[in-house]
Homo-oligomer: A and B are copies of this chain.
């Protein structure tokens, strides 16, 4: 309920075109209207810069399809994360243009014609090892769906540091860097020391024994000796992309 909207409404009252009782009612309902499903989405797009995303985990195939249909009605597009094969199959049957990335577990129906690519910057998504790729890809696909340009750099873990140093130029060209790493989670510290742009660290649950489901990498990243590295939840590639999108002014 922006000041402008409120002023308009009050002018209506002042002009006698709206009774105080009805004005109260409308005022009360204005914030309510975004409770209806389609408006929620619209409102979020205005507020957050990108449409609502379906977090598919824990939902039935039917629920996912239903939500996707309503988002398509409203926006002509949708993005879903943590989609199972069954969900992807059902959605492909319903939406022929669907882009399914099984590694990233994402389903994306792009707008048609596609939204113009935002030119403001490049998000570099780095993964420490091949096992971190599902999380890194979730970040990459989400960022692309939000309209950003994405570069990828894979398998540059710190135990073979020359692999990362060899990619220095690509590091320097990025505007935001997302680093997905499991095990000891050391890569964001090294990257953070090499670039001056924002570095978003994503701990992954890759590892065994005393990795405790990603806790080791999470703690390491929070304690990074590279100043200004920030962290998101374990395996949360989507969250990292959302953070990068906030930075690039999505």
Q: B-contacting residues of A (Cβ < 8 Å)?
A: 3, 6-7, 10-11, 13-14, 16, 19-21, 23-24, 27-28, 31-32, 34-35, 40, 44, 47-49, 53, 57-58, 128-129, 131, 157-163, 165-166, 182-186, 189-190, 192-194, 196-200, 203, 205-236, 238-239, 241-247, 249-250
Tell me if A189 and B159 are in contact (CB < 8 A).
Answer: yes
Tell me if A159 and B190 are in contact (CB < 8 A).
Answer: yes
Tell me if B227 and A207 are in contact (CB < 8 A).
Answer: no
Chain B residues with CB under 8 A of A236: 208-209
Q: Can you list 14 residue pairs at the A/B interface with Cβ under 8 Å?
A: A10-B10, A47-B194, A58-B131, A157-B225, A165-B165, A183-B224, A198-B198, A211-B219, A215-B219, A216-B219, A216-B220, A228-B242, A228-B246, A229-B239
* A215–B212 alpha-carbon span in the complex (Å): 10
* A206–B57 alpha-carbon span in the complex (Å): 10
* A244–B244 alpha-carbon span in the complex (Å): 13
- Tell me the smallest distance from the CB of A72 to a CB of chain B, in Å: 19
Tell me if A57 and B228 are in contact (CB < 8 A).
Answer: no
Tell me if A209 and B220 are in contact (CB < 8 A).
Answer: no
Given A131-B58, A198-B247, A246-B198, A23–B10 Cβ distance below 8 Å?
A: yes
* A234–B183 alpha-carbon span in the complex (Å): 13
Tell me if A231 and B222 are in contact (CB < 8 A).
Answer: yes
- Tell me the smallest distance from the CB of A207 to a CB of chain B, in Å: 5
Tell me if A20 and B24 are in contact (CB < 8 A).
Answer: no
Chain B residues with CB under 8 A of A184: 184-186, 189, 219-221, 223-225
Chain B residues with CB under 8 A of A35: 163, 166
Residue of B with least CB distance to A182: B223
- Tell me the smallest distance from the CB of A214 to a CB of chain B, in Å: 6
Chain B residues with CB under 8 A of A165: 31, 161, 165
> A11-B20, A228-B244 are known contacts; what are 14 more A-B pairs with Cβ within 8 Å?
A10-B10, A158-B158, A158-B189, A159-B225, A159-B226, A184-B185, A184-B189, A186-B186, A200-B230, A216-B216, A216-B220, A228-B241, A228-B242, A228-B245
